Amino acid sequence: MKTIILSLCLLLGTQLAFGQEKTKQRKTPEQRAEMMTNRLSEEVKLTPEQREKIYSINLRSAEKSMKIHKEADLTDEQRKEKLQKHRRDVKKLVMAELTPEQQKTLKEKHKARKKEHMQDGE
């Protein structure tokens, strides 16, 4: 009897835990833009002017990404291609706002992160 009750409690607890994960809210475009801008600012020390311009770029990017994700008439492959092109375009806009030194720092950090990621996969 104790085993049955314990099993039911465990099952119920697991169901509740998974149920809470599904209700997790997606970040708003503003939250995503702020997060992306903060991350970049930590990596390359943005000036206040750069921060403002890049936040604007990131906000437009987050809004457009949401629209692409919601386009029902796209296949998964089309959506993936469209998002990849969008990300490349955004990267160009962001890089244009950085100084050559900041661009170099960012590229080095991305290379290191990519190398670290490759080693984790082995």
SS3 37: helix
User: What angle, 0 to 180 degrees and rounded to 10, lies between the N-to-C axes of helices 29-44 and 48-70?
Assistant: 140
Domain layout of the chain by residue ranges: 23-120
Spatial CB neighbours of 37, under 8 Å, sequence gap ≥ 6: 46, 51, 54, 55, 58
Kindly report, residue by residue over 105-116, the tens digit of the pLDDT: 999 998 988 888
- C-alpha–C-alpha distance, residues 81 and 76, integer Å: 9
pTM, two decimal places: 0.73
What are 33-51's pLDDT values in tens digits? 999 999 999 999 999 999 9
